[in-house]
Amino acid sequence: MKVKLLIALCGALALSGCSKLNKENYDKLEMGMSQKEVEAILGSADNCGKTLGTVACTWGNEEAKHVKIVFMGNKAVTFNYEGLE
């Protein structure tokens, strides 16, 4: 039983270190990228909302580490981040 628990903990630690939400991936983003291109780098957005012809998407938790990108005409027009290392 202890071996299974140890294996589960090691697996969880390994997966937590594989987050795509980091400064290195943020630096790969460019103005004009489509949402699909951004998702190829960061993975699927955690939240998206549409307002007046724009789509604003957030990766991560707005209260902590996150990336926020606004798309207009399916092209990234603004992006920012907080808490990335």
Model pLDDT for residues 3-33, shown as the tens digit of each residue: 554 444 444 434 344 589 999 999 999 999 9
Q: What is the mean pLDDT of the chain?
A: 85
Within-domain flag for 64: yes
CATH of the domain at 50: 3.30.1450.10
Within-domain flag for 66: yes
Write down the pTM of the prediction.
0.76
Domain that residue 41 falls in:
21-80
Within-domain flag for 70: yes
13-37 burial, b if ≥16 CB within 10 A, otherwise e?
Answer: eeeeeeebbeeebbeebeeebebeb
How many domains does the chain fold into?
1
